Amino acid sequence: MTLRERLQDALPEGHSFELLHLQNIPTEITPIVTASKKYNDATDTSTIKVENFFVLFNNKKAVFAMEVYVYFTLYRQQNEIKGERLLFVSKADTSGYSDVKFSVKSVTTAILSYLLSVDPKAYLTRVKPMTRKYDDLNNELITIKTATQDALRILAKRLRSNGSSVNEKFDKDRLYSSFDFPKDFSTKICLFTRPAPQYLFSKSSENPHKHVLSGEGLLKWWLSILDDIAVNYFTEDTQAKLRIPGEDTKRVQKYLVGTKFQNWSVGDVFANSSNSLAAYAIPLFPDDPKSRFLHELVEENRIKTTSLKSFWIELQERQEFKLSVMVSVIGIIGHTKPFPQSVIRTAETLVTKSKKQFSYIKSYITGEEFNKVEGAHASYQNVKDYYHARLHADLVPLEGKKKSIMCKTNLQSHQPVITMLQPRKKRKQ
């Protein structure tokens, strides 16, 4: 199934939505987990990161957004190449401005199931390397390592040869790497739950129609999603883990009562032993409290002495957790069941040309203020205008097919009032 088909099955029948899906160029990065010096083969590791940003629009308003990072790690173990895929759910948010009641849980599950279904080869055939070997390229090409004098000489030579053109035909694929991913690979999903007024839609908590979950409510909501994912997409020997920093095992186990997947237990997917050093187990994710704490341990010169057990205890005592709110770490580790794989369709996904373009389009959502409905409309219109003017394309239309969700009857339609005193925000140039 395509991304569009999955989302249409999750959205209410008879109602129209639109989708923005941004994906950056798969990029080789340094390992997200520090390797122990005991493993001499640690240097023979490759990690590729793919950032995904999804936005759902209803009635020309941004109503849902989700940010997910997908990591692929290749490493050598006993002369055999092993592979691991990791989905890190960074943020998910609603604005509260949808005129139609829809299941956010179903939409979130549809997106995660899509990412699980994408063949890793779709990401790994064209990867931006950490360093490019410009010495292997034609000496007549201008690169960032070309001296100014040499660049002028090359341009002059091209001008003499081609008349009015100084452009050189070049196969850009030579600037990218490709990786072979083993067919038998493990998959992890992990996320960190912490209640907040808003995650991606700035000031949206000021909208009275937005439903903000408590720490316990957020934990139960995500737990139910990953429980469904584990049952439907992972093999029976998969392990599912829940950890609540600062809580004893018996209390954590109470949240696992009633889960459908049989292999839920208290713990995390990062290491088998609580005595392991946190530095060699906890991944470094973007904008993540765990990663920030690891950096603090480095500054305090305690990174080589702090165990996972101490890490979780101290994490709960950090300033950003001293508001008596419940936080949790939920994860799955195992193998996915055989099911039809999806491809990345250009009609559904915009693979941006650069990190700058990705951030620019994303800022139309995250840089807007959603305390009033005008912000939700402006974010939609700015994205729409960018697609038309720069890409000569349009957002992905979605027609809901789910019959069990009824349309709201008590929520009035939010239409912006555009006057001389309150004009629509100008589209970014």
Q: Mean pLDDT over all residues of the chain?
A: 87
Q: Tokens for 13, please give them.
A: 């029948």
List the catalytic residues.
288
53 domain residue, yes or no = yes
Would you place residue 324 in the very low, low, confident or very high pLDDT band (cuts 50, 70, 90)?
low
Note the pLDDT tens digit of each residue in 199-247.
Answer: 999 999 999 999 999 999 999 999 999 999 999 999 999 999 999 988 8
Bridge-based pairing state of the strands 396-399 and 16-23 = antiparallel
Regarding whether 137 and 123 lie in a shared domain, the answer is no
Q: Of 166-175, 263-272, 357-366, which gets the smallest average pLDDT?
A: 166-175
Give a yes or no: residue 201 inside a domain.
Answer: yes
- Number of structural domains the chain divides into: 2
Kindly tell me if the per-residue pLDDT of 292 is higher than 90.
Answer: no
What is the domain range of residue 264?
A: 3-128+178-273+327-400
Q: Which residue has the tokens 């316990």?
A: 216
- Mean pLDDT of the region 286-310: 87
Whether residues 16 and 74 fall in one domain: yes
170 and 201 fall within a common domain: no
The label of the residue with tokens 């237990």 reads: 265
User: Are residues 162 and 240 both part of a single domain?
Assistant: no
- 122-140 confidence digits (pLDDT tens): 999 999 998 776 666 666 6
Residue 415 domain-assigned (yes or no) = no
Same domain (yes/no): 148, 194:
no
In this structure, the answer to whether residues 160 and 54 fall within a common structural domain is no
The reply to whether 117 and 136 lie within a common domain is: no
In this predicted model, which residue has the larger pLDDT, 404 or 422?
404
pLDDT at 303 over 70: yes
Based on the domain organization, do 93 and 215 belong to the same domain? Answer: yes
Model confidence band, residue 428 (pLDDT cutoffs 50, 70, 90)? low
Are 37 and 144 members of one domain?
no
357 in Cβ contact with 383 (< 8 Å) = no
CA 342, 20, 100, 95: dihedral to nearest 10 degrees?
120
pLDDT digits (tens, 9 = 90+) for 359-411: 999 999 999 999 999 999 999 999 999 999 999 999 999 999 998 644 443 34
Residue 297 counted as domain residue = no
Site of tokens 């990218």: 176
Record the pTM. Answer: 0.86
pLDDT of residue 363: 97
Instruction: Please report whether residue 318 resides in a domain.
Output: no
Residues 243 and 147 in one domain: no
State the pLDDT confidence band at 8, using cuts at 50, 70 and 90. Answer: very high
Average pLDDT (252-259) is: 96
The answer to the question of residue 244 being in a domain is yes
Q: Are residues 55 and 140 in the same domain?
A: no
Residue 289 located in a structural domain: no
Average pLDDT over residues 329-340: 93
Is 160 among the domain residues? yes
pLDDT at 89 over 80: yes
**Co-location of 77 and 152 in the same domain:** no
Which range, 41-55, 75-89, 99-113, 240-254, has the best average confidence (pLDDT)? 99-113
Write down the pLDDT at residue 293. Answer: 87
98, 107 contact by CB (below 8 A): no
Query: In sequence order, what are the residues at sequence separation of 6 or more whose Cβ sits closer than 8 angstroms to the Cβ of residue 373?
Result: 61, 97, 207, 414, 415, 416
